[in-house]
Amino acid sequence: MIYDRNGEILAMSLPKKTLCINAYQVSKIEKKDLKKYYQLNKIINVSNDKFLKILKNNKNKRELYLKRKVDDEIAAKISKLKLPYVYFIEEFHRVYLGGNYFSNVIGFTDIDDKGQEGIEYAKNDQLMSVGGLKKVRKDNLGRSIETIELIKKPVPGKNIYLSLDKKVQLIGYNILKEYVKKDKAESASLILIKNKTGEIISMVNYPSFNPENRTEMRGVNIKNRAVTESFEPGSTIKPFTIYTALKDKEFNKKSIIDTSPGILKIGKYEIKDHKYLGKLTLAEIIQQSSNVGASLVALKTSKRSIHNTLRELNFGETLYMGLPGEQSGKLDHHSSWDESRHASVGYGYGLSTTLLHLANAYSVLANHGKKIQLTYEKQKPNEIFFDNGLNNKLSKEIVNMMTMVVETEKGTGKKAKLQKYTVAGKTGTVRINVGGNYKKNRHLALFVGIVPASNPEYVAAVIVRNPREGQAYGGKNAAPIFKKFMDHSLNLLKVYPDKK
C-alpha cells in the first residue's frame, strides 16, 4: 500500500475475481451443447462468434483468462450459471484513494499491477507482491477442490509512506484548478517543501486525470510536470546572481546600479525592464525585478563564479529523486558563454530548469546555505543530513532582501503577502520560446516563496503555464496562488506565526 505522511491510504490492492475457462475441455463439447455458454457471453458482452473463435484459437489451453478482474456483481451472475469448466481465480485490482489530486504523482499500474507511471513505476519492485505456487487437485469441471502442496510461499509487497500530506495536496489541487480556469491558463504546478527535512509535503499538477478511468491514462496529463518539464526560470534566478556578486565582493549592499534608460544593448540584443527604474540597490533589483540591473551585475561578476553558484544549487544536474521522466535542465559551461549569454543568465535566460530544481535552490537559501536531499518519502530524524552549499551569512542577507519583494508596496510579489507570516519570495515572468523565437503572447508566471522568513520552515514554488486572461505576470498569476495555498496550509501544518 501507499500511505501519506499521516497514515492515510492513497493506493491499495483489493481482491478481484478473474474469469477463467478450460478451453481444452470446452472445445470438446458438441456445438449444440455449447449454447448454454451463450448466456455467459451476454453477461461479459462477447458475441457468440467471437467466443467460438476464442475456443478454436486456444483449444489446447487448460486455463484461459476470459475476462480479468470482473466486478463482484457480474461474478455473482456468472457463478449462478454453474457452467462446466468455467471458474474464477483471485487477482488484485489497484484502487486509488488519492483521486485526481494525486494521480500524476502516484501514477498507475497496468492490468498485471506493474507500475507504469509515477511512484508506482519508481517503486514497483517494493510495492509489487510476488505470487506463490501450489499444487492443487481439480474436479472434472476444472475447479480446484484441494491444495496438495505449497511449493512457493507468496510474498506481499511492501508498504511505502510518502512525505506528502493528503489534506495539503487536496488544498493545492483545488486552488490550482480555480486559478487555471480563472486565468485561462493551460496548466499549473505547485511544490511545497519542508526545508529542514527535505520532505516534499505537496506536489500538485492541474489538470490531471482520473486514476479509475483507464481511457484517461495517456497524454500530458499523466505526467508529473513539476519534474518532467524544463523551462527558462527568468527572474527567479536574480537572487543567486546578487548572491554571487556579493560573494565575489564585486559589489556590496550599498552599491548603486544605474539602470537608465531601462534598456541595455549587447550586440544585436536588447535587454529591457518592464518600466523605467533608474538607480537601484542590489536589494531593489530583486524587489522590483530589474532585468537591466541583474544583467549589469552579472557582467561585472565572473562567468565562472555565476556558473559555480548555479552548479552548487544543482541547476543542470539530477536531483536523484528517482521519479520517472525527471529532467535535469540545462546549464552550459561558462566557457561557452558570450557577452549576451553572460548577461542573460543573470536574469534567468539561457539556462533551463524544472520547478523542483527551483524549489530545491530556494530550500538552500531557506536553510541559510545548507543543502539537503529532497525526498518524497517520509523521513526519520536520523535520516536527515545537511551538506555545505552557499555562504551562511550571505544566504541570510538574500532572504532578507527577498522580503522586500512581498512585504513592500514596490515589490513585484506583494500579492503573496500573508497576514500572520513574513514571506521572502521572488516573482518570475518568462516568455516561452517556440522554435527558437520568444513569443510575446505566451508566458510562464512563477513565484517561489520562503516562509516564515524570520525562521524558514517551508518553501513553495508555483508555475502557471500560459495564462491568457490579460497580461501575464508572476506577481499577478502565481503570487496569489502562493498566498491562498499558504493561508490554508500553514495553519494545518501548525506553523507558528512570526508577525504580531
The Cα–Cα gap between 402 and 283 comes to: 7
Per residue in 122-149, is it b (16+ CB within 10 Å) or e — as a string? Answer: bbbeebbeeeeeeeeeeeeebeeeeeee
Angle at 385 between CA 426 and CA 165, to 5 degrees: 60
The Cα–Cα gap between 249 and 86 comes to: 81
The Cα–Cα gap between 350 and 463 comes to: 19
- pLDDT reported for residue 310: 98
- pLDDT reported for residue 495: 97
pTM of the model: 0.89
The answer to whether the beta carbons of residues 272 and 294 sit under 8 Å apart is: no
Please spell the DSSP secondary structure of 99-145, one letter per residue. Answer: GGGTHHHH--B-TTS-B-SHHHHHTHHHH--B--EEEEEE-TTS-EE
The answer to whether the beta carbons of residues 211 and 238 sit under 8 Å apart is: no
The answer to whether the beta carbons of residues 460 and 482 sit under 8 Å apart is: yes
Q: What is the pLDDT along the chain (500 residues), one digit of tens a residue?
A: 999 999 999 999 888 888 999 988 888 888 777 888 888 989 999 898 899 898 889 988 988 889 888 888 999 999 899 898 888 888 888 899 999 999 999 999 988 888 899 999 999 988 876 555 556 566 655 555 555 665 655 555 789 999 999 999 999 999 999 999 999 999 999 999 999 999 999 999 999 999 988 889 889 999 999 999 999 999 999 999 999 999 999 999 999 999 999 999 998 899 999 999 999 999 999 999 999 999 999 999 999 999 999 999 999 999 999 999 999 999 999 999 999 999 999 999 999 999 999 999 999 999 999 999 999 999 998 888 999 999 999 999 999 999 999 999 999 999 999 999 999 999 999 999 888 888 889 999 999 999 999 999 999 999 999 999 999 999 999 999 999 999 999 999 999 999 87
The catalytic residue positions are 235
Residue 205's contacts (CB-CB under 8 Å, 6 or more residues apart) are 104, 105, 176, 187, 188, 189, 223, 224, 225, 226
Which 8-state DSSP code applies to residue 95? E
Place of cell 556578486: 245
- pLDDT reported for residue 14: 86
The Cα–Cα gap between 386 and 380 comes to: 14
**Burial (CB count <10 Å: 0-12, 13-18, 19+), residue 115:** buried
The answer to whether the beta carbons of residues 356 and 444 sit under 8 Å apart is: no
